[in-house]
């Protein structure tokens, strides 16, 4: 929860206001709102994936509350690229107002539209490409090509009368990209010459020294692993990692194997990528997974989702023997992805499960089967020196990443007072070339749980954790309405306890005695009697069993 919460003053004329609603202090749910002259521009609208301490949650959204009453003021939502942490929350925003225009590259919009189709929303879109400029309300937008682990990623320069802000989106500076599309440093230099007043820059790898390795360095490793594999090969990756899928297709073709795509999102995204020309499928390599089962084991590669250990994804189900494809001795599983912070335990559980089944598991820890899509410290230093921004707001990363990024900016000459370490809800005002913190909004997590959006609270999650970790006890007592005397019970039932219910025989007289004492004191209210039951059994369970379960008492009058 943000600290030092204070509402910003009204926005004065000639000032650009920037408010990140997500993506600071976390890797995910990236969303930033720009305001000028009473109009709003949103850059990205992504989701965050839940961690183990958030049981039952499917997705976490940015907190839309600051703009909920101003949806009519939004001129557009600019999407920098097609990853879930940048586009995944778009359907939930457009459910509030479906006609907000979406601006992005061809692949980014195609992936977003496919998601929106599942929510029965047909959006208004504007397809842009690098080098293009568009006027959207008071915002003059220029789009710049950047490398990332998905094709067609864009940075955006936002010009207003208050100055120019540059948002990198997620990016790196691969000098030999698989698709030949370089991060456009010439455009960055031109923007730097014009004068960048505020630089919002990807921080995910800011604490990693040097330079991110080349994507093409992965191809030979995949080729070698697939070439040596004695039986089936299963490759797990993000469902939108077009470059990685391309490398797997090429390696499979080179070794006479066919490739079957597993997972609805993988099939959907790769179909889109192929249709738009971003994925080039060698003749005859792709095969429907149902037909793949008829092929010899040494002639098939399965490309699946689940590289982050997601419980319902294909790879996790395989590791739990809950999928029709059952990995075993001689099979090779390749986890071709990095670990998103918070997912480590889930991923290692999947690796252990697959290893126990006899499969050989190849992952980033024991082979070079993945490189990051984010700029490391050396690349960020280049960007700071080329752009020479007046003010810097590190975004897209956990707190340690933001701090490391700010330090890099300061090393290149950006004054510390012009380097803003913010958090979600930090309001930054840009005026006359100076960025200052104008306020701090109180933002929270918005949880998606099935079809429920925003109704689940932190208190609900605490209850779920207690149920999962400590168990559940229900106590039913029937008392005389007139005298308060116990007629029936206490009847105690427990779930999540190793002990038999008879273990509670010792506490039943204590509960009855406490209720009798309350009746003598004139207590008749059933809620008050229920609290007496809760406290009595709670103390006993804590002292006797060293547990703190959820206790649900029910006192009934008769």
pLDDT in tens, 34-52: 999 999 999 999 988 766 6
Instruction: Give the percent of the chain with pLDDT over 90.
Output: 51
Predicted pLDDT of residue 527: 77
Q: Which of 98-112, 363-377, 541-555 has the highest mean pLDDT?
A: 98-112
Handedness of CA 51, 57, 61, 62 (dihedral sign): negative
At 1, is the pLDDT very low, low, confident or very high (cuts 50, 70, 90)?
very low
Closest-CA residue to 257 (of 231, 290, 219, 239):
231
User: Between these two residues, 494 and 223, which has the higher pLDDT value?
Assistant: 223
Q: Which stretch of 93-102, 177-186, 368-377, 403-412 has the lowest confidence by average pLDDT? A: 368-377
Convert the pLDDT of each residue in 377-428 to its tens digit: 999 999 999 999 999 999 999 999 999 999 999 999 999 999 999 999 999 9
Q: Which of 258-262, 458-462, 521-525, 539-543 has the highest mean pLDDT?
A: 258-262
Predicted pLDDT of residue 487: 76
C-alpha–C-alpha distance, residues 490 and 370, integer Å: 59
**∠ CA 329-307-301, rounded to 5°:** 50
At 460, is the pLDDT very low, low, confident or very high (cuts 50, 70, 90)?
low
Domains recognised in the chain with CATH numbers: 16-210+372-451 (3.60.15.10), 215-362 (3.40.50.10710), 458-557 (3.10.20.580)
User: Between these two residues, 482 and 160, which has the higher pLDDT value?
Assistant: 160
Closest-CA residue to 441 (of 20, 10, 135):
20
Average pLDDT over residues 284-312: 82
Cα Rg of the chain, angstroms = 28
- Residues 6 or more apart from 136 whose CB is under 8 A from it? 41, 75, 76, 101, 103
Predicted pLDDT of residue 226: 92
At 431, is the pLDDT very low, low, confident or very high (cuts 50, 70, 90)?
very high
At 57, is the pLDDT very low, low, confident or very high (cuts 50, 70, 90)?
low
Predicted pLDDT of residue 275: 93
**pLDDT score of 233 more than 70:** yes
Handedness of CA 82, 88, 92, 93 (dihedral sign): negative
**pLDDT score of 453 more than 50:** yes
**pLDDT score of 153 more than 50:** yes
Cβ atoms of 127 and 57 closer than 8 Å: no
Q: Tell me the average pLDDT of the chain.
A: 86
**pLDDT score of 454 more than 60:** no
- Residues 6 or more apart from 489 whose CB is under 8 A from it? 475, 476, 477, 478, 508, 512
C-alpha–C-alpha distance, residues 518 and 505, integer Å: 21
Which H or E run contains 218? helix 218-228
Predicted pLDDT of residue 384: 97
Closest-CA residue to 306 (of 258, 361, 358):
361
**pLDDT score of 33 more than 80:** yes
| Whether the model pTM is above 0.75 | yes
Q: Which of 189-193, 247-251, 280-284, 532-536 has the highest mean pLDDT?
A: 189-193
Q: Which two tokens stand for residue 518?
A: 């309350």
User: Between these two residues, 453 and 113, which has the higher pLDDT value?
Assistant: 113
**pLDDT score of 55 more than 60:** no
């Amino acid at each position: 929860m943000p600290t030092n919460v204070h509402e910003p003053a009204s926005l004065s004329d000639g000032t650009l206001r920037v408010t990140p609603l997500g993506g600071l202090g976390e890797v995910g749910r990236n969303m930033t709102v720009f305001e000028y002259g009473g109009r709003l521009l949103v850059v990205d609208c992504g989701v965050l994936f839940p961690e183990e301490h958030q049981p039952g949650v499917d997705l976490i959204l940015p907190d839309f509350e600051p703009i909920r009453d101003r949806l009519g003021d939004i001129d557009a939502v600019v999407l920098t690229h097609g990853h879930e942490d940048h586009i995944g929350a778009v359907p939930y925003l457009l459910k509030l107002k479906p006609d907000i225009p979406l601006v992005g590259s061809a692949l980014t919009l195609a992936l977003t539209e496919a998601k929106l189709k599942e929510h029965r929303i047909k959006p208004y879109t504007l397809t842009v490409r690098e080098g293009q400029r568009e006027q959207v309300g008071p915002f003059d937008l220029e789009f710049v090509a950047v490398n990332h682990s998905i094709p067609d990623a864009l940075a955006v320069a936002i010009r207003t009368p208050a100055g120019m802000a540059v948002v990198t989106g997620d990016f790196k500076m691969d000098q030999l990209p698989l698709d030949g599309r370089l991060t456009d440093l010439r455009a960055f230099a031109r923007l730097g010459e014009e004068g960048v007043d505020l630089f919002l820059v990807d921080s995910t790898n800011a604490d990693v020294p040097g330079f991110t390795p080349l994507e093409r360095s992965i191809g030979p490793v995949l080729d070698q692993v697939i070439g040596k594999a004695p039986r089936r090969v299963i490759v797990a990756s993000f469902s939108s990692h077009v470059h990685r899928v391309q490398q797997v297709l090429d390696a499979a073709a080179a070794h006479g194997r066919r490739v079957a795509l597993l997972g609805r999102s993988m099939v959907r995204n790769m179909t889109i990528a192929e249709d738009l020309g971003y994925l080039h499928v060698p003749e005859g390599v792709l095969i429907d997974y149902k037909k793949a089962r008829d092929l010899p084991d040494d002639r098939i590669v399965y490309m699946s989702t689940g590289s982050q250990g997601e419980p319902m994804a294909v790879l996790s189900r395989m590791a739990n023997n809950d999928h029709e494809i059952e990995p075993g001795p001689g099979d090779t599983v390749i986890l071709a992805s990095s670990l998103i912070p918070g997912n480590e335990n889930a991923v290692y559980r999947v690796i252990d499960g697959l290893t126990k089944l006899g499969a050989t598991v190849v992952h980033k820890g024991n082979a070079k089967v993945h490189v990051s899509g984010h700029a490391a410290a050396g690349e960020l230093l280049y960007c700071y020196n080329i752009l020479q921004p007046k003010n810097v707001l590190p975004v897209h990363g956990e707190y340690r990443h933001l701090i490391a990024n700010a330090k890099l900016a300061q090393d290149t000459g950006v004054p510390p007072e012009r380097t803003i370490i913010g958090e979600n809800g930090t309001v930054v005002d840009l005026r006359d070339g100076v960025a200052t913190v104008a306020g701090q909004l109180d933002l929270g997590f918005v949880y998606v749980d099935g079809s429920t959006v925003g109704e689940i609270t932190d208190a609900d999650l605490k209850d779920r954790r207690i149920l999962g970790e400590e168990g559940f006890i229900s106590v039913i007592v029937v008392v005389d309405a007139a005298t308060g005397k116990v007629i029936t019970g206490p009847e105690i039932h427990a779930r999540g306890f190793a002990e038999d219910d008879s273990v509670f025989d010792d506490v039943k007289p204590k509960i009855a005695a406490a209720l009798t004492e309350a009746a003598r004191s004139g207590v008749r209210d059933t809620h008050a009697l229920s609290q007496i039951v809760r406290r009595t059994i709670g103390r006993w369970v804590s002292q006797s069993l060293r547990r703190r379960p959820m206790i649900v008492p029910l006192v009934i009058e008769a």
